[in-house]
């Protein structure tokens, strides 16, 4: 547990002058004053993010800068308001009601942002789906949520088994052709054009549902993590104090809205703070990253360790070709931020990279390094003012400094999930120690109050910052005709954090070969998602299992890493 030297040079700017002071005096109630509902009593997070600015001094300020290899478009707050209003009216026309689930299965594009906001404006609950998902993953999520409507493209619609989804009544299709327009399929373009840019917004209760993100656990299907409008309180204030968003900032969050970072911090937080939001679509390489920063004069940049490691791999010379002088503040989330990356950031960008920690379930950042605080490389930082974090043993006792245990948060807080859709038992598991949310991460705290991440307690794999449940991949693997049994683990990887490795026992009559590995990999890719396909496959005659038949992933991991296998008393002979 050796710590390196803390980095004392502070980041310039900073809305949060003194962390200690803020902690002493913090009151969530004070934050509420920033919202128009504090005066009017009329609540809707999308209204606060867009319309409020359009109706005050920010009408003609650019809210969204979108670019990919083919498109470059800018939209002001007023235009965002009109586009999302139009989409809200499209939903009203087909009878979408408050509380209905409406899914968005789109690549990053302006239309994704218009529709997501429009859904929230009519009081429906939006479910963003990552564009890389294939049929099984899409079906599970739409089925579990009982989604009544879906916004997607012609290409992605091929992965939606509409006939098997009885609740799904409407598909709003981007790029639809005349022949598509039947059986509840509407043309996005036509409907948007016909719809009014004025919308009767659905005012809601702060505890009403707003967004649902499906995320992976170690067992069972992905869980629908349900968030309410009240989360905006924390999206806003963490944006101010952690993202350090200020008047005139140009902000870029590189995450896709299919993941929680891409909504909490790719949509709500920047717009609640009224800044210009940059979205880069498509796939892009290191040159594109720097070009985006330079071209739009990005001042605040939020990304992930896997991206920083990729940029580090592209070398320091590349950085010199670009003018990154506007970049004031850099942050990272999703997996442990290596001290090496922080050192590189200091040398090459002349900026500190501020790590922070949170999860889909927590809705917003809970632990962070702040611009005005010393950074200890390798540490996630300190709890947000108003948040109490602790290291607990399994009985709920607080552990002293440097002892590793469950990273736990005193519940509740404004952006905390309010349920797991259709699965109260799962929800309750997070709160098994009275008064605390148990994160599933292990960590320790040092004597200065900084938190240090140690690992996941369960088997959830974190590959390039994306959570993948081993069970979902194993289930897909055993659907392949050659696979009798499969066990999936995360294997440490210098670039991706972890990669997915599958151990497979073949059915009789099948023989190990590289072609078969390739075929199995493609099978998972096509059936589930590219990022869920195992990069490594190893064939075994049989897999280690408990007497009750559970695959012992911990034993697979020990084999892989040459570690002691631990207690094998429950293993089948």
Of 5, 87, 24, 7, the closest CA to residue 372 belongs to: 7
Binding ligand 6R9 (rule: CB under 6 A), the pick from 44, 261, 269, 372 is 261
Q: Any contact of residue 334 with ligand 6R9 (CB under 6 A)?
A: yes
Q: Is 135 exposed, middle or buried (0-12, 13-18, 19+ CB in 10 A)?
A: middle
Q: Any contact of residue 420 with ligand 6R9 (CB under 6 A)?
A: no
Stretch that binds ligand 6R9, among 437-445, 475-483, 499-507, 555-563 (CB under 6 A): 437-445
State which of positions 467-486 bind ligand 6R9 (CB under 6 A): 467
Pick the closer one to ligand 6R9 by CB: 96 or 380.
380
Q: Any contact of residue 209 with ligand 6R9 (CB under 6 A)?
A: no
Site string for ligand 6R9, 376-415 (x = CB under 6 A): ----x-----------------------------------
| H helical segments located in 296-372 | 305-314, 316-320, 339-344
Binding ligand 6R9 (rule: CB under 6 A), the pick from 7, 142, 359, 420 is 359
Q: Any contact of residue 336 with ligand 6R9 (CB under 6 A)?
A: yes
Pick the closer one to ligand 6R9 by CB: 16 or 337.
337
Pick the closer one to ligand 6R9 by CB: 96 or 500.
500
Q: Which residue has the tokens 């940059």?
A: 278
Of 397, 411, 402, the closest CA to residue 452 belongs to: 402
Stretch that binds ligand 6R9, among 154-162, 254-262, 474-482, 535-543 (CB under 6 A): 254-262
Phi-psi region of 146 (alpha: psi -120 to 50; beta: other; left: phi over 0): left
Phi, then psi, of 532 in degrees rounded to 5: -95, -5
Cβ–Cβ < 8 Å for 63, 294:
no
Q: Any contact of residue 330 with ligand 6R9 (CB under 6 A)?
A: no
Q: Least distance to ligand 6R9 from the beta carbon of 177, Å?
A: 36
Please state, in angstroms and as integers, the Cα–Cα distance from residue 202 to each residue in 144, 165, 264, following that order.
25, 27, 21
Q: What is d(CA 168, CA 102) in angstroms, rounded to the nearest whole number?
A: 9
Q: Any contact of residue 333 with ligand 6R9 (CB under 6 A)?
A: yes
Stretch that binds ligand 6R9, among 162-170, 197-205, 331-339, 556-564 (CB under 6 A): 331-339
Q: What is d(CA 226, CA 418) in angstroms, rounded to the nearest whole number?
A: 6
Phi, then psi, of 542 in degrees rounded to 5: -150, 160
Q: Any contact of residue 257 with ligand 6R9 (CB under 6 A)?
A: no
Q: Is 143 exposed, middle or buried (0-12, 13-18, 19+ CB in 10 A)?
A: middle
Q: Which residue has the tokens 């993953």?
A: 137
Pick the closer one to ligand 6R9 by CB: 343 or 456.
456
Residues contributing to the site for ligand 6R9 (CB under 6 A): 215, 259-261, 333-337, 355-360, 380, 439-441, 453, 456, 462, 467
């Amino acid at each position: 547990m050796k710590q390196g030297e803390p980095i004392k040079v502070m980041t310039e700017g900073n809305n949060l002058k003194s962390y200690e002071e803020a902690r002493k005096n913090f009151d969530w109630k004070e934050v509420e004053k920033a919202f128009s509902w504090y005066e009017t009593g009329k609540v809707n997070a999308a209204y606060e993010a867009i319309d409020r600015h359009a109706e005050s001094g920010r009408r003609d300020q650019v809210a969204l800068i979108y670019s990919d290899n083919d498109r470059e478009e800018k939209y002001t707050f007023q235009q965002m308001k009109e586009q999302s209003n139009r989409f809200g009216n499209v939903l009203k026309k087909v009878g979408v009601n408050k509380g209905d689930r409406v899914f968005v299965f789109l690549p990053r594009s302006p239309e994704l942002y218009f529709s997501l906001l429009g859904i929230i404006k009519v009081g429906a609950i939006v479910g963003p789906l990552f564009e890389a998902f294939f049929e099984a993953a899409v079906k599970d999520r739409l089925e579990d949520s009982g989604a009544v409507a879906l916004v997607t493209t012609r290409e992605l619609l091929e992965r939606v088994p509409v006939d098997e989804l009885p609740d799904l009544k409407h598909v709003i299709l981007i790029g639809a052709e005349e022949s598509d327009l039947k059986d509840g399929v509407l043309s996005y373009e036509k409907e948007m054009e016909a719809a009014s840019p004025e919308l009767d917004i659905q005012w809601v209760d702060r505890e009403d549902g707003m967004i649902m993100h499906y995320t992976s656990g170690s067992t069972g299907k992905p869980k629908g993590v349900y968030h309410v409008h009240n989360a905006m309180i924390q999206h806003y204030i963490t944006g101010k104090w952690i993202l350090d968003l200020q008047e005139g900032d140009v902000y870029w969050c590189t995450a896709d809205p299919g993941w929680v970072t891409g909504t909490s911090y790719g949509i709500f937080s920047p717009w609640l703070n009224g800044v210009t939001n940059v979205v880069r679509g498509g796939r892009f390489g290191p040159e594109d990253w720097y070009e985006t920063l330079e071209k739009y004069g990005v001042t605040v940049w939020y990304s992930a360790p896997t991206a920083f490691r990729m940029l580090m791999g592209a070398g320091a010379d590349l950085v010199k070709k670009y003018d990154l002088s506007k970049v004031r503040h850099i942050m990272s989330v999703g997996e442990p931020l290596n001290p090496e990356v922080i050192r590189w950031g200091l040398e090459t960008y002349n900026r500190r990279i501020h790590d922070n920690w949170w999860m889909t379930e927590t809705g917003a950042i809970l632990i962070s390094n702040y611009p005005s605080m010393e950074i200890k490389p390798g540490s996630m930082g300190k709890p947000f003012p108003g948040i109490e974090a602790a290291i607990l043993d399994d009985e709920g006792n607080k552990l002293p400094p440097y002892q590793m245990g469950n990273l736990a948060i005193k519940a509740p807080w404004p952006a905390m999930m309010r349920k797991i859709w259709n699965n109260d038992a799962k929800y309750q598991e997070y709160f098994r120690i009275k008064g605390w949310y148990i994160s599933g991460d292990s960590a320790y705290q040092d004597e200065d109050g900084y938190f240090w991440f140690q690992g996941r307690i369960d088997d959830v794999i974190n590959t390039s910052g994306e959570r993948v449940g081993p069970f979902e991949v194993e289930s897909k693997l055993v659907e392949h005709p050659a696979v009798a049994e499969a066990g999936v683990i995360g294997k440490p990887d210098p670039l991706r954090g972890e990669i997915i490795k599958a151990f497979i026992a073949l059915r009789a009559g099948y023989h190990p070969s590289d072609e078969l590995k390739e075929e199995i990999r493609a099978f998972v890719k096509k059936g589930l998602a590219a990022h869920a396909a195992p990069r490594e496959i190893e064939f075994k005659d049989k897999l280690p299992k408990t007497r009750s038949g559970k695959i012992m992933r911990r034993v697979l991991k020990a084999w892989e890493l040459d570690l002691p296998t631990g207690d094998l008393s429950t293993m089948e002979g």
